[in-house]
Amino acid sequence: MRSLAHHYSEAGDKERAAAYWYQAGLQANARFATREAVAHFTKGIGLLASLPEGDTRDKRELEFQLAFAVPLIALHGFGSEQVEACATRARELIDKGADDRTRFLAYRFVWNSSLMRRPVPQAIALARTLMDLAQGGNDAAQLAIAHRALGFSIQIAGRLAKADKLLSNGIALSDGVPDGQFAAYGEHPGMVCRAYRAQTCCLMGFPDHALGSRRRRSSMPDHATAHSV
C-alpha cells in the first residue's frame, strides 16, 4: 500500500493517494509499527487538506482522524497535546455531520482525551453526551461504553454512590455483549467497570465488595447506595 501511495502522490492524484496512505496507515498500525502508521496518516491528512472543501472530504478526514488516534495514543499517551489536537479536529468534523456510529466513536475519543487534560466537569458533560447518544440508539455495546465513561467521570468527581450504580450497570450491559463488539473502542468496558467499581467500593468502605467486583457483578448493601450524592 505504501508503494501505491507514493506512486499516486508523485502522479498528483491526491484523492487516490490519500486513500492508499489511509490503508498503509491501517496496515502499519496492525503490525504495531506505530511511528510508521503516524507518518502514513499524517501524509494522507495533508493531501486531504489540499482537496476541495465539502462533505465528502470532511467525512474522509474524520475517518482519518479516528484511525490516526490509535497510533497517536500508543506513541504519546491519552493525555498528550498531539492526541488532544486530533480529538479537537475530530469534534469539529463531527459537528459538520456524521452518522450515529461515527459520532459515538468520535465523542468517546474526545471524552477520553478531555478526561486527561481538562477539568472534570467537562469530562462529565462529554460523558453525558455519550450516554444521550447511546440511549438514542439501540446498541448495547454503546450503552456499556457510555456507562463506563460516565461512571468513571462521576467517580473522580467524588460522587461514589452514583458512580457505583453506573459502573454496576456497565458490568451487566457488557456481560451481555459479545467481546468482538468492543474492538472499535480498544477496551472491554466490563473489565474497566469492574476495576473502577472495585476502587469505588474501597473508597466507600466496602473492601469485601471490591474483591467480588473484580470477578463478577455484585450489589452494594442497601445502606451504601441510599445516600444522595
pLDDT given for residue 153 in this prediction: 96
pLDDT-based confidence at 214, cuts 50/70/90?
low
Residue 119 CB coordination number (10 Å): 9
Residue 28 reports pLDDT greater than 50? yes
Residue with cell 450497570: 169
pLDDT given for residue 38 in this prediction: 95
Round to whole Å and give the CA distance between 119 and 149: 15
Copy the grid coordinates of residue 163: 458512580
Residue 228 reports pLDDT greater than 60? no
pLDDT-based confidence at 218, cuts 50/70/90?
very low
**Could you tell me which residue, 80 or 5, shows the higher pLDDT?**
80
Tell me what the pLDDT averaged over the chain comes to: 86
pLDDT given for residue 223 in this prediction: 29
Which residue type, as a one-letter code, is found at position 156? I
Round to whole Å and give the CA distance between 213 and 191: 10
pLDDT digits (tens, 9 = 90+) for 126-183: 999 999 999 988 899 999 999 999 999 999 999 999 999 999 999 999 999 999 888 8
pLDDT-based confidence at 219, cuts 50/70/90?
very low
Round to whole Å and give the CA distance between 20 and 41: 10
Q: What is the mean pLDDT of residues 57-64?
A: 91
In the chain, the domains with their CATH numbers are 1-104 (1.25.40), 119-229 (1.25.40)
pLDDT-based confidence at 211, cuts 50/70/90?
low
pLDDT given for residue 121 in this prediction: 93
Round to whole Å and give the CA distance between 168 and 165: 5
